[in-house]
Structures are given as C-alpha cells and as structure tokens.
C-alpha cells in the first residue's frame, strides 16, 4: 500500500470514528415567517406555547400547546373581557406543508367558556410534553403543574401519561386512558423529548438542576402503557438499571444546562442523533447538540439561530423543537415567544410559535483533507 493510499485510508477511518464534535457537519437556520400563517388561521385561537408535534400518519399532524388564549366572543381579541386563558389545547394539521396545510383547534368547555383540553383537577393543571405513535395508538407525556407565589408563579407537581386508543379520530372523539409513570421526584419534567430506537422507547427527562437524564422501556411495554418501571441510564460502567432497583445507583447526567422542553431525532443524512433546545433565560438562542448514541456523549451546544425578537423588552424565548415530519427544504423548527409582566396582552404579536428552517450539510471526506 502506497504512503498516499495509507494517508487517505487513515483520514477516512478517523472521520468515521470521530466524536460528534469532530464530525464535519454544517448547521445553519433562518426564519421561516411564511409558515407562521398556520398559527393564525382561526380567529378564536390567539396564541400559545409548547408546540410539540406528532405525525399521526395519512397527512395528519397533531400539535400540542400549553397555555393558550381563546377568544370566545366579539370582537375576538386578546382582551380579558372576550377571552379565556386555558392551560392546554391541541390542533390537527391536515397536510405536511405548513404553507398550505389547514389547522383545526380543539379545547374543552366549562359552560359557555373554553377550558383546557386535558382538564384541570383542583389546583393542578397539565402542560403537554412529547409523545409518539406506537402501533396505531398515541402515547403522550404530560407535566402536572401547580401555582406558587414565587418565581414565575408555577412549579412542576409530578408527571402523567395518556394513551389514546383512536388517534385517527378528531380529538373531540378521542378515547383516552391514563397510564402510570414512575415516581421520579428528581425530574422536573418526564418526557421532555421521546424517541424510539432498536425496539425501545426512550424518554429524556429534565431534572430540577436542569441536568438531563434518560429512561427507556421495551416497545412491548410502552405500547400497553406499562411505564411505571423503566430502566435508567447510569453510565458506561453500570449501564441500564431498572427503576425499582435504583437504590445505591446514580442516574447518569447526559449534559447540563438543559431545558424542560426540547426535541431529539435521528438525522437521516448523518445517522447522528440531534437535539435542539434554547439556551438562555428571557433572551435566548437556539442551539444544536449532536451524539452518535442516545446516551451520549452529547456535543457542546452550537449556535444555530438568534431570534430577532430578542430585541423586544421583557421578551421570553423558549421551547425550541424540531418537526421532522413537516415538508420543508431542510428541517422545520419552532420556538415559543412570551413576555414578562403584562406584555402578552399589550403585544399581540408575541405568545405565538415561530418557525425556523434548519439546514444540515455534511462535509465530504475530501473536504476534510483540504
């Protein structure tokens, strides 16, 4: 073998074996305002956050929203005298291209006023997290939330799960049943992002110190809603440990500075796992992490988008997510906009999700040698 051939061989071998931070992958994102029109097609729906999406198949996409403004009487404005504030709602998008797709929103009712789709219970309400389809059923993770007098005025109070037996129907006809999730008091959110891989369901969890941990179940258990005894990743030296056998074991931290809401997916171009989140509190930016395995190591965050809304006083940017099933050149992302104090009523342009287009480009081995 000539010296030149050996040089090329070892360059290629090094690229294949490289860690996520060494793999040549160019990521860039731009605003996609044309797609935002899908969040402004119902005169009653006046904004929300969270904006998780799940491909239901056959051109139908489920959107899950958190706190939402619903105008239920004229003049249908985001104004206290004609609007209800609810804790969650859902929508069905028909068509995978948000530029031309339609959107139908669903919420509950309390008398003549709108109410949360997943009903509040006493002082507890539900904010949606991630979910997915498994063999024709829809599995959803929810966060239980309650009011407090400090901080932002709320705190997580536990976790919940739902299985929808007939997701092919519109949400107002869903047959839902609750499923048991594990008692994991160290988790602020359980199911911040979910992914399936190699016959297992994985759930990313954001702990109270904003480190990220990982649980998994066999798909056979997940499809029946048996979620109360997952395995937890406890690091390379220990591996996976059942929830009921955790005594004496330490759950591994995948990375720090995580968020309660984010997305994880496997990129078809690079076969890496990619993670999108916001970084920062109030003013924030969208960042990307990469890993060859769901358990990591995850790369340091790479800036991909600086939202223009960061110049708005008292702005809050959060809840960045990917939507791999939407038709777009590149990858569709969204992030949520909100405001501190009373700015959400004074500025009706915020408190809506906003679309971003992410472009990923792998660098060829030839480029690595230039």
Q: Strand pairing of 331-339 and 315-323?
A: antiparallel
Angstrom distance (rounded) from CA 117 to CA 104: 14
pLDDT at 67: 97
- Cβ atoms of 350 and 342 closer than 8 Å: no
Q: Is 58 exposed, middle or buried (0-12, 13-18, 19+ CB in 10 A)?
A: exposed
The predicted structure's pLDDT at residue 24 = 64
Q: Which CATH architecture has domain 18-368?
A: 5 Propeller (2.115)
pLDDT of res. 151:
83
- Predicted pLDDT of residue 342: 62
User: What pLDDT sits at residue 367?
Assistant: 55
User: Is the pTM higher than 0.85?
Assistant: yes
User: Distance (Å, rounded) from C-alpha 62 to C-alpha 362?
Assistant: 30
3-class SS string, 247-303: CCCCCCCCECCCCCCCEEEECCCCCCEEEEEEECCCCCEEEEEEECCCCCCCCCCEE
Local confidence pLDDT in tens for the 370 residues of the chain: 444 333 333 333 333 334 555 556 789 999 999 999 999 999 999 999 999 999 999 999 999 999 999 999 999 999 889 999 999 999 999 999 999 999 999 999 999 899 999 999 989 999 999 999 999 999 999 999 999 988 888 999 999 999 999 999 999 999 999 998 998 999 999 999 999 999 999 999 999 999 999 999 999 999 999 999 999 999 999 999 999 999 989 999 999 999 999 999 999 888 899 999 999 999 999 999 999 999 999 999 999 999 999 999 889 999 999 999 999 999 999 999 998 866 788 888 899 999 999 998 876 655 544 5
Please spell the DSSP secondary structure of 328-362, one letter per residue. -SSEEEEEEEEESTTHHHH-TTSSSEEEEEEEEEE
Degrees to nearest 5, angle at CA 13 with 8 and 16: 130
Q: How far apart are CA 126 and CA 35, in angstroms?
A: 27
Domain edges within the chain: 18-368
Enumerate long-range contacts of 182-189, CB under 8 Å, 24 or more apart. Answer: 182/215, 182/227, 182/228, 182/229, 182/230, 182/243, 184/159, 184/215, 184/243, 186/213, 186/251, 187/159, 187/213, 188/156, 188/260, 189/129, 189/143, 189/156, 189/159, 189/260, 189/261
Three-state DSSP class for 104? Answer: strand
Predicted pLDDT at 6:
35
pLDDT attached to residue 15: 36
d(CA 41, CA 118): 23
pLDDT at 17: 39
Residue 53 near residue 64, CB atoms below 8 Å: yes
From CA 361, how far away is CA 330, in angstroms rounded? 9
- pLDDT value for 149: 87
CA gap 328, 27 in Å, rounded: 15
pLDDT for 364 equals 63
């Amino acid at each position: 073998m000539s010296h030149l051939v050996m040089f090329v061989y070892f360059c290629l071998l090094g690229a294949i074996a490289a860690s996520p931070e060494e793999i040549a992958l160019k990521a860039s994102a731009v605003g996609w305002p044309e797609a935002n029109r899908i969040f402004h097609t119902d005169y009653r729906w006046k904004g929300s956050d969270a904006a998780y999406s799940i491909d239901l198949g056959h051109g139908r996409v489920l959107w899950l929203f958190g706190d939402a403004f619903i105008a239920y009487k004229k003049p249908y404005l985001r104004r206290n005298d004609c609007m209800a504030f609810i804790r969650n709602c859902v929508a069905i998008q028909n068509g995978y291209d948000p530029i031309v797709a339609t959107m139908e929103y669903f919420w509950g009712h309390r008398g003549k006023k709108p109410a949360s789709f997943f009903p509040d219970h006493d002082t507890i309400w539900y904010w949606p997290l991630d979910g997915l389809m498994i063999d024709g059923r829809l599995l959803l993770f929810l966060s239980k939330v309650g009011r407090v007098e400090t901080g932002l005025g709320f705190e997580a109070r536990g976790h919940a799960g739902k299985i929808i037996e007939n997701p092919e129907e519109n949400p107002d006809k869903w047959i839902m049943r609750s499923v048991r999730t594990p008692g994991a008091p160290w988790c602020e959110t359980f199911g911040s992002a979910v992914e399936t891989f190699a016959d297992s369901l994985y759930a990313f969890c954001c702990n109270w110190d904003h480190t990220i941990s990982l649980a998994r179940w066999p798909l056979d258990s997940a499809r029946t809603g048996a979620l109360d005894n997952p395995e937890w990743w406890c690091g390379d030296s220990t591996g996976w440990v059942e929830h009921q056998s955790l005594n004496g074991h330490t759950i591994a931290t995948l990375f720090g500075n995580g968020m309660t809401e984010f997305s994880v997916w496997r990129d078809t171009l690079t076969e890496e796992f990619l993670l999108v989140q916001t970084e920062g509190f109030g003013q924030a930016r969208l960042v990307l992490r990469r890993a060859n395995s769901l358990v990591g190591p995850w790369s340091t965050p790479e800036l991909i988008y600086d939202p223009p809304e960061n110049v708005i006083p008292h702005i809050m940017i959060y809840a960045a997510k990917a939507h791999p099933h939407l038709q777009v050149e590149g990858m569709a992302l969204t992030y949520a906009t909100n405001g501190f104090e009373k700015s959400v009523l004074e500025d009706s342009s915020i408190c809506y999700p906003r679309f971003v287009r992410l472009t990923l480009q792998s660098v060829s081995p030839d480029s690595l040698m230039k």
